[in-house]
Amino acid sequence: MPFYQFTVPTGGATLDHKAEVAAAMTKVHAEVTGAPSAYVHCSFVEVPPDSIFVAGEPVSGARMTGIIRCGRSPEVRARLLHGLADAWCEITGDRKEDVAVFLQEVPGANVLEDGRVLPEASDDPGAIT
């Protein structure tokens, strides 16, 4: 269920490493949450330079938005945020200070995947993740 979308300026290092970035994000998500890798979705959106702004000023760093199921503890979400950012920076050479990662949580009941509505997420190792 997790869906990670990367917004990157044209010419950014990420565009040369999409498959590597997607594999790394999948690995981080699966390791941190215990969710099966087969459910991790990644998408890349290329935008013209000077299309990403912070405080009204253009920035060149990529932005990542992740939609995940509700139910993860603050500790798991923090590990996920840092793990995703660290993997991203290792591949692209971006500085962590130049990258922004946003997680949005949705109830499992709001997601249909493989023809079924998903259960809620849990940090319980014995639960369906």
pLDDT digits (tens, 9 = 90+) for 51-83: 999 999 998 888 999 999 999 999 999 999 999
H/E element holding 7? strand 3-9
- pLDDT per residue as tens digits for the range 8-55: 988 877 788 999 999 999 999 999 999 899 999 999 999 998 999 999
Q: In sequence order, what are the residues at sequence separation of 6 or more whose Cβ sits closer than 8 angstroms to the Cβ of residue 85?
A: 64, 96, 99, 101
Topology of domain 3-111, CATH: Macrophage Migration Inhibitory Factor (3.30.429)
| DSSP E strand boundaries for 29-127 | 41-47, 53-54, 57-58, 63-69, 100-106, 112-113, 116-117
Give me Rg for the CA atoms of the chain.
Answer: 15
CA distance 120 to 44: 26
Global pTM value: 0.88
